[in-house]
Amino acid sequence: MEEDRRNPLVLDLRDLRVVSVLGRGAKGVAFLVRYGSETLALKAICRKSIEKKQSQSQSQSQSEPEREPQTQQEDAYRRVWFERDVLDTFHHPLLPKLRGTLVTDKIVGFALQLCSGGDLNSLRKKQTEKMFSDDITRFYAAELVLALEYLHGLGIVYRDLKPENVLVQDNGHIMLVDFDLSARISTKSTPNSSQKFPSGRQLSVGKASSRKKRRIPSFLSCISAEISITPAESDSGGSCSTGPSKAESSWEKSNSFVGTEEYIAPEMIIGKGHDLAVDWWSLGVVLYEMLYGRTPFRGSNRKETFYRILTKTADLVGEPTPLRDLIGRLLEKDPEQRISVEGIKKHEFFRGVDWEDILNISRPPFVPMGKEVETEEVIPGIDMEEFVESVFGGGGGGGDEREKVKKMTEVDPSDKKDKHEFVWVNALSNSRKKDEFLIF
């Protein structure tokens, strides 16, 4: 797979044509845009929403000394600029490359490569039983391991791994997206430490301030003291190693509480600090969902979900298999005993996988059927800035406009029968060629 090493452009809103709305996330709206002859995905973040959130955060911190307005503004955009900088750092075929930035008085935008295949969640739901086979799971799991290994090598903990953040590129390989919850963590201070980070702005998380050291949800404070995270027993006779490697155990811990609740690791809920191991827990949840069509700890509400994550063992129904064993090792509640990247790559589930050649596979399990995303018909009269503010800033347009925005941004891609269509590789015109993703 070839990497895109073009330098990011400084975009002008007047040069962009909005083709469609791809969807919305927690902090922004994703647009399909035309820039000259190029078709790109543009993530637009509402500046008013960022500043409002920062203002609310400061009002809740009565003990914090008053700061200059300029410093407050820098804090408000710190995570936004961090995402920009890490996107510009990446040189990996399974991670996005920043193609351009857009900054106006109302929005901040990042232009990225368009992935026409939708996300893994939509793809899974298209399956007859809404779950993947072990062979297909192995392919996507292997690529996720490579993407996370690359991030961790940069000192970046992802912290938001879920199927919705795993897109399928035009060639069928995955792309990990959305890095607004990611963080760079520092290595532990040692006399001989010589860890070097990649060039670019470095925003180390390290130890949080004293007022953030116990970010335990109030409803969990009463039970967290009673819960002790201990290693789970394993029935596997495998020889793969567990626990963090020397490289992984040399990182400082972050105390931030971020992520999507069904995929959050127990150490993050407890609030005693977390490191790269949280991403391997989330991978375990994703693999469980691929196998069973649901997440392992989902409760009727946030409180119950967190309680289950802290106290319950994942129900791995079915006969023992290498995949079930790997999931169990990833969902180890004690991060010190959780399987590391070295153990994952040596696990029985990946027996025969050529880790050096995965990215060269030309026939992944699914490939988009050509250009399924409409790229020609431009939405008439749409104003990107007003659209984003209607969604996140509470401004722009009346009730009818906001209702239109809601409908356009909340459509489930899996319901679009004429979009993001996939075919099995053996249904392609050149199906006589062996399915390479099965050759491990």
Identity of residue 89:
T
- The residues annotated with a catalytic role in the active site are 160
- DSSP assignment of 176-198 equals E---TT-EE-PBPP-TT----PP
Quick one: DSSP state of residue 391? I
Task: Indicate the burial class of 428 (C-beta count within 10 angstroms; 0-12, 13-18, 19 or more).
Answer: middle
Find the helix or strand (DSSP H, E) in which 101 lies: strand 100-103
Residue 22's CB is within 10 A of a number of other CB atoms, namely 21
Give Cα 351 to chain centroid, integer Å.
26
Residue 5's CB is within 10 A of a number of other CB atoms, namely 7
Distance CA 268, CA 278 (A): 8
- Which residues fall within 8 angstroms of residue 283, CB to CB, at 6 or more apart? 141, 144, 145, 148, 161, 330
Helix (H, G, I), strand (E, B) or coil at 412: coil
Residues in the chain: 440
Integer CA distances (angstroms), 35 to 5, 269, 365, in order: 18, 43, 31
Distance CA 57, CA 42 (A): 28
Ramachandran assignment for 32, one of left (phi > 0), alpha (psi -120 to 50 degrees), beta (any other): beta
Q: What is the torsion angle, in degrees rounded to the nearest 10, for the CA atoms of residue 434, residue 436, residue 437 and residue 440?
A: 110
Q: Is the dihedral of CA 276, 298, 146, 159 positive or negative?
A: negative
Q: Can you read off the two tokens belonging to residue 436?
A: 């390479």
